[in-house]
Amino acid sequence: GSTEAIVIYAVVVLESLLWFSFVALILGMPKPKAFYRKSGKWIDGICGAIFGAFGAALVWAAVKEATR
């Protein structure tokens, strides 16, 4: 019911808040911050390629499904 939807929404919001707070805390520390500043372009590029490949796979699956 709607109670389950509210609980799920609250859990997702809380999980997101906790995760991004954790990431901010870690990246605010001197060593991780220095590593990210030095390697950030590579990390962003690799993550972009992974997300791009995942998106392309979703588009491919949708096109295959639509042409059945």
- The rounded percent of the chain whose pLDDT value lies above 70 is 100
- Separation CA 12–CA 51 (nearest Å): 21
Task: Give 18-50 pLDDT, tens digit per residue.
Answer: 999 999 999 999 999 999 999 999 999 999 999
pLDDT of residue 68: 86
- Indicate the domain borders of the chain: 2-66
- SS3 readout for 25-48: HHHCCHHHHHHHHHHHHHHHHHHH
pLDDT of residue 29: 96
pTM greater than the 0.75 cutoff:
no
pLDDT of residue 1: 77
pLDDT of 2 higher than 80: yes
> Number of C-alpha atoms within 13 angstroms, CB side, residue 10?
6
